[in-house]
């Protein structure tokens, strides 16, 4: 049986790979670009999630609609994100969202057949939405809740940021100046009571190489910049998530983009 599971950190590592190098520098503004919401719900033997003891999957996510390159690239990366979150394909194949949902149910059925004593239902819910959109950036947020066995489930908040003109993903260095990380580290230490001159991991964090880094997930809303570390990313599961929220005005000297007051939502 193909091993089913979630590899923490896989989501963000693969998103950058979704950009086609041959298309990377091509820009074709798409004035027809819009977003629609796609919803997929499937369950084992048509059980009802609200009744409990039901293996089900619910995917609700935005898809770009348009006639140019941007919508194609954005959708490619959204589907890549769903694949990385729901099902790690050992052969590197990419499934459509409908195929992902079918595969999730099939994986549970296969597990239940192989281990008849296994009775815990699986569940997966992803809720995605456009949280900000202007001429310079499109920011999408995805909230995930999953349980596929084990001591506890998996919850995460992920952000995908795109250049509306090209459809390519925006990286941290596209959004902020180099000095931004120093500002955030100072604030992070203060809020988590980590002495300024001590090792960043001295109070129980586990930043790689004992060096502070920005989170993999940074989102933009109309008024705020959200920095979100999911559980396990920098601390034990018991510590939960770490979120830093700043109003745009507080970060003006670090921002490379000029956010509009009225986004195109």
Helices (H) and strands (E) in the chain, counts: 5, 8
Helix axes 97-114, 69-86, angle to 10 degrees: 10
Tokens of 39: 């919803």
pLDDT at position 52, please?
A: 80
Candidates 3.40.190.80, 1.10.540.10, 3.90.640.20, 1.10.3720.10; CATH matching 173-251? 3.90.640.20
**Averaged pLDDT for residues 157-169:** 97
Q: How far is CA 259 from CA 17, 21, 178, 215, in A?
A: 27, 28, 19, 21
**Averaged pLDDT for residues 249-256:** 96
* Domain boundaries along the sequence of the chain: 10-170, 173-251
pLDDT at position 32, please?
A: 79
234 within 8 A of 206, measured Cβ to Cβ: yes
Q: In what order do the strands lie in the sheet with 56-65?
A: 34-43, 56-65, 123-133, 138-147, 154-162
CA 226 to chain centre: 13
* Average pLDDT taken over every residue of the chain: 87
pLDDT at position 118, please?
A: 85
62 within 8 A of 37, measured Cβ to Cβ: yes
pLDDT at position 54, please?
A: 94
CA-wise closest residue to 18 among 107, 88, 87, 83? 83
In the predicted structure, residue 105 carries a pLDDT above the cut 80: yes
Tens-digit pLDDT profile for residues 217-226:
999 999 999 9
* Cα 40 from Cα 57, distance rounded (Å): 8
pLDDT at position 30, please?
A: 59
Superfamily of domain 10-170: Fervidobacterium nodosum Rt17-B1 like (3.30.565.40)
- Written in H, E and C, the secondary structure of 170-238 is CCHHHHECCCHHHHHHHHHHHHCCCCCCCCCCCCCCCCHHHCCCCCCEEEECCCEEEEEECCCCCCCHH
In terms of average pLDDT, the best of 139-143, 152-156, 237-241 is 139-143
Tens-digit pLDDT profile for residues 180-207:
999 999 999 999 999 999 999 999 999 9
pLDDT at position 24, please?
A: 46
**Model confidence at 151, in pLDDT bands (50, 70, 90)?**
confident
Tokens of 100: 């992902």
The secondary structure element, H or E, covering residue 108 is helix 97-114
Tens-digit pLDDT profile for residues 112-127:
999 988 889 999 999 9
**Model confidence at 51, in pLDDT bands (50, 70, 90)?**
confident
In the predicted structure, residue 90 carries a pLDDT above the cut 80: no
193 within 8 A of 203, measured Cβ to Cβ: yes
**Averaged pLDDT for residues 46-51:** 86
* Cα 241 from Cα 231, distance rounded (Å): 5
φ and ψ at 201, to 5 degrees?
Answer: -100, 10
* Per-residue DSSP letter, 86: H
84 within 8 A of 10, measured Cβ to Cβ: yes
SS3 content of the chain, % helix, strand, coil (to 5): 30, 25, 45
Query: In a 3-state reduction of DSSP, which class is residue 143?
Result: strand
Percent of the chain with pLDDT over 90: 72
pLDDT at position 88, please?
A: 58
**Averaged pLDDT for residues 209-217:** 98
**Model confidence at 260, in pLDDT bands (50, 70, 90)?**
low
* Cα 14 from Cα 76, distance rounded (Å): 12
């Amino acid at each position: 049986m193909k091993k089913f599971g979630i590899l923490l950190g896989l989501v963000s590592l693969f998103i950058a790979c979704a950009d086609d190098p041959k298309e990377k520098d091509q820009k074709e503004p798409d004035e027809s670009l819009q977003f629609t919401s796609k919803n997929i719900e499937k369950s084992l033997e048509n059980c009802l999630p609200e009744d409990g003891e039901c293996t089900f999957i619910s995917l609700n996510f935005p898809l770009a609609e348009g006639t140019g390159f941007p919508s194609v690239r954005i959708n490619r990366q959204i589907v890549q994100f769903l694949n990385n979150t729901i099902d790690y394909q050992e052969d590197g194949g990419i499934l459509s969202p409908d195929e992902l949902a079918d595969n999730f149910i099939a994986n549970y059925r296969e597990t239940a057949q192989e281990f008849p004593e296994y009775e815990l239902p699986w569940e997966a819910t992803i809720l995605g939405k456009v949280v900000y959109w202007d001429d310079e950036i499109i920011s999408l947020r995805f909230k995930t809740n999953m349980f596929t066995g084990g001591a506890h489930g998996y919850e995460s908040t992920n952000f995908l940021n795109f250049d509306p003109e090209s459809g390519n993903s925006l990286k941290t260095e596209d959004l902020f100046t180099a000095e931004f990380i120093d500002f955030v580290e100072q604030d992070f230490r203060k809020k988590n009571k980590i002495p300024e001159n001590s090792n960043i991991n001295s109070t129980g964090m586990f930043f790689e190489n004992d060096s502070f880094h920005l989170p993999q997930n940074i989102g933009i809303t109309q008024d705020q910049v959200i920095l979100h570390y999911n559980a396990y990313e920098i601390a034990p599961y018991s510590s939960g998530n770490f979120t830093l929220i700043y109003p745009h005005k507080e970060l003006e000297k670090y921002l490379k983009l000029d956010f509009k007051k009225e986004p195109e939502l």
